[in-house]
């Protein structure tokens, strides 16, 4: 398995934002600039997530998707607020390759089947936001980890595969934004059940966190914070160039963590015998 | 002018951008009559084989594609497009393709020599050039052997004639045809428009094959 390194960009309105446990969103930059940086750095794929779309029932990523598709020639997955076949059609038409669905799939699982039949299984990613429960099992949440669904992740993985999903994007809400490492218990729980690609997300913070991939059938790892910090360490963002959002972090001018570049990560992977695309 | 056939299957906007970036005067073609003005044609596609054939038929593209390729102009099939140019597909039953190229589309087995295959095959994988071919492969000019391209598919084309295979790719040890050429008909299983700079080089080479 040649694993993918995916750069995830959380987008709110015109800004790239990042929170911790999907909450407390801070403005970090302009999505189009970061996307370009990750493309040049050797990202295997980009993922755009409209983090407030399901909350406000809007879907506003199309402009970014169009702008991205003009200049960036790697796969792009787009999620957030996708509820209908026509939403998928619009996002794909704008230039996305895959769409990721969470809330709408949980509200009506048949939507996965309809979407997979309409656009091909490989276009439909089911996104799962998971929180560990006190007694050790993992349950699904929607709306950025706010809404409890009462669904066990193992059962849901089995269900979405039977409905024809093409890929699973698994987020550990507990680890998300913490950079403390991925939740490998959760990943093992899910990866033993999957026959479709699995992308793991939430908590990736340094090169050693990638070691678990070696020899597995896991499709790849997605990360946000660690790559964003790397971008901010080498690129200046003017905090006054943003018309909305919490720009305190940018104004502070303090970069606590130099993060990790995608090329550094890939060099490390190759040195550890973990298969990845390199140039 | 390069025509990109739009019959409602998949992301053609990226392909339009990528071909324009490498210098094509590219246009989206929605009507068979527009084919006459095209110096070359791309048949893209993502999705189900049977659906795609039905939509080509509904849009009256089938005869148009046949007369187009008989004119000797280049046709490039990408992903599902590559498969559609073949004889038949065994995706959910058995369905006839355009029958331009002698090859059938088969689903990846879930097990190959004790290796479990995760399906769809979604990854950047290496393109191994077919060294049995004597002539330089124009499509891969300035591209090294074993370059990575982006794949996303569950079916692959099993070719009848090995000499028509331009490249192979291995998935968990299983070798399949990742590109072919039969005279003016070319098929690539990967997405050049999504394979970064190397992918763009493929499109640039395609451009030079047409306008050399």
Rounded to an integer, the average pLDDT of A19-47 is: 91
Look at residue A74 and tell me whether its pLDDT is greater than 90.
Answer: yes
Contact in structure between B52 and B6 (CB atoms under 8 Å): no
Q: Which of residues 50-69 of A touch B (CB under 8 A)?
A: 66, 69
Residue whose pair of structure tokens reads 């993922």 in the numeric block: A47
CB contact under 8 A, B123 and A73: no
A118 assigned to some structural domain: yes
Chain A contact for B110 (CB, 8 A cutoff) = yes
CB contact under 8 A, A75 and B150: yes
What is the number of domains present in chain B? 1
Rounded to an integer, the average pLDDT of A6-21 is: 90
Q: What is the mean pLDDT of chain B?
A: 95
pLDDT (0 to 100) of residue B62: 97
Name the closest residue on chain A to residue B91, using Cα atoms.
Answer: A120
A276 assigned to some structural domain: no
Chain B contact for A219 (CB, 8 A cutoff) = yes
Please indicate whether residue B95 is annotated as part of the active site: no
Helix (H) or strand (E) holding A123: none
CA dihedral of B86, B88, B90, B92, whole degrees rounded to 10:
110
CB contact under 8 A, A197 and B120: yes
pLDDT (0 to 100) of residue A47: 97
Look at residue A22 and tell me whether its pLDDT is greater than 80.
Answer: no
Please indicate whether residue B191 is annotated as part of the active site: yes
Rounded to an integer, the average pLDDT of A244-259 is: 78
Domain hosting B163: range is 2-211
- Going by pLDDT thresholds of 50, 70 and 90, the confidence category of residue A172 is very high
- Going by pLDDT thresholds of 50, 70 and 90, the confidence category of residue B212 is confident
* CATH code, domain carrying A171: 3.20.20.70
Helices (DSSP H) in chain B: which residue ranges?
12-21, 49-58, 62-70, 80-84, 196-211
Look at residue A243 and tell me whether its pLDDT is greater than 80.
Answer: no
A188 CB neighbour count, 10 Å cutoff: 13
Domain hosting A165: range is 4-271
A143 assigned to some structural domain: yes
Chain B contact for A121 (CB, 8 A cutoff) = yes
Rounded to an integer, the average pLDDT of B94-121 is: 95
Predicted complex ipTM: 0.94
Site from B4, B12, B13 to mutate, A interface, most A CB atoms within 10 angstroms = B13
Contact in structure between A12 and A41 (CB atoms under 8 Å): no
Residue whose pair of structure tokens reads 């909305």 in the numeric block: A244
Question: Which of A242-246, B43-47, B71-75, B113-117 has the lowest average pLDDT?
Answer: A242-246
Site from A122, A125, A218 to mutate, B interface, most B CB atoms within 10 angstroms = A122
Token pair of A194, please? 């999957």
**Length of chain A in terms of residues written:** 279
Helix (H) or strand (E) holding A93: helix A85-94
Alpha-carbon distance values, A69 to A33, A39, A73, B15 (Å): 13, 12, 7, 9
Phi, psi of A152 (to 5 degrees): -80, 140
A202 assigned to some structural domain: yes
Helix (H) or strand (E) holding B173: none
Instruction: Tell me the pLDDT tens digit for each residue of B164-177.
Output: 999 999 999 999 99
Instruction: Tell me the pLDDT tens digit for each residue of A177-216.
Output: 999 999 999 999 999 999 999 999 999 999 999 999 999 9
Please indicate whether residue B31 is annotated as part of the active site: no
pLDDT (0 to 100) of residue A18: 87
Rounded to an integer, the average pLDDT of B107-114 is: 94
pLDDT (0 to 100) of residue B81: 96
Rounded-to-integer distance, Cα B119 and Cα B122, Å: 8
Instruction: Tell me the pLDDT tens digit for each residue of A56-73.
Output: 555 568 888 998 999 999
Rounded-to-integer distance, Cα B112 and Cα A109, Å: 31
The strand pairing partners of B179, in sequence order, are B167, B188
A46 assigned to some structural domain: yes
Beta strands in A52-202 (DSSP E): 76-79, 98-101, 124-132, 138-142, 147-152, 167-172, 198-201
The DSSP code for A3 is B
Q: In chain A, what residues touch B146 (CB-CB under 8 Å)?
A: none
Site from B4, B14, B79, B198 to mutate, A interface, most A CB atoms within 10 angstroms = B14
pLDDT (0 to 100) of residue A258: 84
Rounded-to-integer distance, Cα A45 and Cα A164, Å: 22
Cα atoms in the 13 Å half-sphere on the side-chain side of A132: 16
Helix (H) or strand (E) holding A110: helix A110-119
Of residues A44, A50, A129, A237, which has the active-site annotation?
A: A129
| Coil vs helix vs strand at A41 | helix
CB contact under 8 A, B120 and A122: yes
Of residues A10, A45, A183, A237, which has the active-site annotation?
A: A10
Of B47, B148, B154, the CB nearest to A119: B47
- Going by pLDDT thresholds of 50, 70 and 90, the confidence category of residue B77 is very high
A278 assigned to some structural domain: no
What is the number of domains present in chain A? 1
What is the maximum alpha-carbon separation in chain A?
Answer: 49
Rounded to an integer, the average pLDDT of A102-114 is: 96
- Going by pLDDT thresholds of 50, 70 and 90, the confidence category of residue A52 is confident
A199 assigned to some structural domain: yes
Rounded to an integer, the average pLDDT of B122-143 is: 93
Question: Which has the higher per-residue pLDDT, A255 or A39?
Answer: A39
* Long-range contacts of B111-117, Cβ-Cβ distance < 8 Å, separation of 24 or more: B112/B171, B112/B172, B112/B173, B112/B174, B113/B173, B113/B174, B115/B172, B115/B173, B115/B174, B116/A195, B116/A217, B116/B172, B117/B171, B117/B172, B117/B174
Of A2, A92, A196, the CB nearest to B11: A92
- Going by pLDDT thresholds of 50, 70 and 90, the confidence category of residue A162 is very high
Of A39, A92, A197, the CB nearest to B118: A197
């Amino acid at each position: 398995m040649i694993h993918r390194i995916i750069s995830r960009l959380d987008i709110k309105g015109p800004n790239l934002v990042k929170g911790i446990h999907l909450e407390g969103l801070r403005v970090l930059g302009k999505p189009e600039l970061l996307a370009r940086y990750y493309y040049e750095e050797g990202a295997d794929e980009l993922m755009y997530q409209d983090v407030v779309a399901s909350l406000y029932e809007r879907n506003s990523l199309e402009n970014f998707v169009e702008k991205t598709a003009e200049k960036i020639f790697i796969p792009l997955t787009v999620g957030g607020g996708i509820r209908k076949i026509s939403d998928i059609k619009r996002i794909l038409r704008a230039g996305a390759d895959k769409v990721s669905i969470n809330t709408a799939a949980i509200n009506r699982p048949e939507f996965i089947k309809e979407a997979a039949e309409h656009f091909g299984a490989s276009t439909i990613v089911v996104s799962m936001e998971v929180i560990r429960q006190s007694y050790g099992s993992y349950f699904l949440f929607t709306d950025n980890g706010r809404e409890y669904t009462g669904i066990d992740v193992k059962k849901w993985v089995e269900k979405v595969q039977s409905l024809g999903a093409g890929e699973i994007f698994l987020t550990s809400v507990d680890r998300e934004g913490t950079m403390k490492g991925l939740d490998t218990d959760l990943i093992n729980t899910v990866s033993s059940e999957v026959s479709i690609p699995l992308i793991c997300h939430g908590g990736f913070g340094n090169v050693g966190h990638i070691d678990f991939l070696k020899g597995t059938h896991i499709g790849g790892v997605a990360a946000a914070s660690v790559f964003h910090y790397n971008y901010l360490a080498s690129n200046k963002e003017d905090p006054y160039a943003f018309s909305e959002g919490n720009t305190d972090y940018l104004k502070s001018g303090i970069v606590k963590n130099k993060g990790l570049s995608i090329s550094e990560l890939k060099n490390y992977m190759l040195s550890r015998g973990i298969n990845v695309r390199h140039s | 002018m390069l025509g990109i056939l739009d019959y409602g299957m998949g992301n053609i906007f990226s392909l339009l951008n990528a071909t324009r970036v490498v210098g094509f005067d590219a246009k989206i073609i929605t009507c068979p009559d527009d084919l006459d003005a095209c110096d070359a044609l791309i048949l893209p596609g993502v999705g189900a084989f049977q659906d795609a054939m039905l939509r080509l038929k509904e849009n009256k593209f089938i005869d148009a594609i046949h007369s187009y390729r008989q004119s000797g102009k280049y046709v490039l099939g990408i992903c599902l497009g590559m498969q559609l140019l073949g004889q038949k597909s065994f995706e959910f039953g058995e369905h006839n393709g355009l029958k331009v190229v002698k090859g059938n589309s088969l689903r990846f087995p879930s097990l190959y020599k004790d290796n479990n295959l995760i399906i769809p095959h979604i990854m950047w994988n290496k393109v191994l050039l077919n060294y049995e071919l004597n002539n330089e492969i124009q499509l891969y000019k300035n591209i090294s052997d074993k370059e990575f391209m982006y794949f996303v598919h569950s079916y692959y084309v099993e070719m009848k004639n090995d000499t028509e295979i331009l490249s192979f790719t291995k998935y968990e040890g299983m070798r399949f045809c990742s590109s072919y050429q039969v005279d003016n008909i070319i098929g690539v299983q990967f997405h050049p428009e999504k394979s970064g700079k190397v992918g763009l080089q493929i499109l640039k080479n395609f451009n030079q094959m047409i306008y050399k």
